[in-house]
């Protein structure tokens, strides 16, 4: 199925893309904390949690794609 083939490529890309953003956000949260802006850091950390939840959902979706050659 063409849709499944596309998703088999897209889902890992999206997951990796999200991880890259989350790492950048972690660095900025640390920078905010170091500058005494803990409320900003907390907001960024909440966004990181949301990204991790999104990745979990995407990984779940990926687990339902049959092993196909992409």
Structural domain boundaries in the chain: 2-62
pLDDT at 16 over 80: yes
Which residues touch 56 (CB under 8 Å, ≥6 apart)?
none
Sign, CA torsion 31/36/37/41:
positive
pLDDT attached to residue 56:
98
What are the distances in angstroms from CA 69 to CA 10, 13, 15, 23?
A: 14, 16, 19, 30
Indicate yes or no: pTM above 0.75: yes
pLDDT attached to residue 8:
95
**Do 8 and 59 contact (CB within 8 A), yes or no?**
no
Please give the share of the chain, as a percent, with pLDDT higher than 90. Answer: 90
- 29-49 pLDDT tens trace: 999 999 999 999 999 999 999
Mean pLDDT of 16-39: 98
pLDDT attached to residue 51:
98
């Amino acid at each position: 199925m063409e849709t499944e083939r596309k998703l088999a490529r897209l889902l890992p890309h999206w997951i990796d893309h999200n991880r890259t953003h989350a790492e950048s956000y972690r660095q900025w949260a640390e920078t905010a904390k170091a500058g005494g802006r803990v409320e900003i850091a907390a907001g960024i950390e909440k966004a990181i949690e949301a990204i991790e939840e999104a990745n979990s959902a995407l990984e779940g979706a990926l687990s339902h794609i049959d092993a196909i050659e992409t």
